[in-house]
Amino acid sequence: MKVEWSECARDDLDDLVRYISRDSAFYARRFAERIVLSTRRLQGFPESGRMIPEAEDKTLREIIVQGYRIMYRLEPDRVLVLAVMHGSRDVAGVTDKPWDEN
């Protein structure tokens, strides 16, 4: 199965890398590599992530990497990465959920 990133998810990762690189370009690159590599395993195991607790949709899942939530949607022919956000962010009370935009 193909793994694709939404524009929003790419922007999330770019923003995180920029933020981390203020302190260390090395760790920013390493963080980005870990995030991207973790999504590659979804090619073979698309259902390996847990269902997103705030969503009532079995096609919406997430994996956790270094305290960050990588949210994705299972589609018939691909896995679409929707967002990358810190695990402490509360999406339950937010009106525009990451999965509503894509």
Across 71-90, average pLDDT? 90
Measure the CA–CA gap between 4 and 91, rounded to whole angstroms.
22
Residue 28, pLDDT score: 94
Domain 2-86 bears CATH identifier 3.30.2310.20: yes
Using DSSP, state whether 98 is helix, strand or coil: coil
Across 81-88, average pLDDT? 88
How far is residue 41 CA from its own chain's centroid? 13
Write down the pTM of the prediction: 0.88
* String of DSSP letters for 35-57: HHHHHHGGGT-TT-SEEPTT---
